[in-house]
Structure 1
Amino acid sequence: MIKASLSKSKKITNSVLFILFTLFAVIQLNDPDPMHWFLIYMGVAVISLGSNFITIPKAIIVLIILGLLVYAAMHFMFLIDWLQTENKSEILGEMVYEKPYLEGSREFLGLLIAVGALLYQLKR
């Protein structure tokens, strides 16, 4: 369905979200498990850009949000483990296989960012 005219600020916001999530997706290509993260972030990017041109059914966005929240819930304990550590800054460092909570926390936070972008699309 063709979308009615959006305000210029909403089109700009959608374009910025598209660029950001495309960058997030490309960065994932060096991850040990790149494809599903690439697809998650590119999916959000495509929805963001596509929203400038077509009306994306709210039901589809809600289903994707629910799926991402379920996936985020699987990483929630990693976030709790990280929050209980003394050195919070190590989340910004390299992945350490002896500390799986670092990668799990990053993944949890990334999923929440993706959900936030989709909630923006849902509210419009």
Structure 2
Amino acid sequence: MGNQKKSVATGKILNLLLFILFAAFAVLQLNDKDGILWFSIYGVVALVHLYVGFKSINRNILLLMMIGLAIYSAVHIPHFVDWIQVQNKSELFGEMVYEKPYLEGTREFLGLVIALVSLIYQWRQSKK
């Protein structure tokens, strides 16, 4: 019984940390040219993690969100492939270079994958 309480407490802490992480991601997007879109994506994911800390979420909602993130991330795969093929991988962490759209596309792809993985975590937790 003690391990179950510890597991629940650990899950709540992890959900709170994921909420804070995705809320920070959302706020950081506000200065971007398409900031409202990305604020919305990361904001909704943040709210899912906050919500799940208090109540269970319908698995169909999680599934729809995961499918949406997977489809939108697939749009960015060509940029990710382009980035994989360049020599200087550290460019990803620098400023946006408009002659290199694969940098922004790769950042967006990786952000979507991180969000998707976090929702997969919630999906797996919701089966318990």
TM-score between both structures, scaled by the size of structure 1? 0.94
C-alpha offsets along residues 26-70 of structure 1, whole Å, 9 cap, x if unaligned?
Answer: 000011100110000010100001001111100100100000100
Equivalent position amino acid for 2:87 in 1: E
| 2:92 corresponds to 1:112 | no
In the alignment, structure 1 segments of 5+ residues that lack a partner are none
Aligned residue-pair number: 120
Q: Could you say which residue in structure 1 is the equivalent of 2:59? A: 58
Q: Could you say which residue in structure 1 is the equivalent of 2:26? A: 25
RMSD: 1.1
State the secondary structure of the residue aligned to 1:108: helix
Equivalent position amino acid for 2:71 in 1: V
How far apart are the structure 2 equivalents of 1:96 and 1:33?
A: 16
Identity of aligned residues (%): 52
Q: Could you say which residue in structure 1 is the equivalent of 2:10? A: 9
How far apart are the structure 1 equivalents of 2:13 and 2:28?
A: 23
TM-score between both structures, scaled by the size of structure 2? 0.91
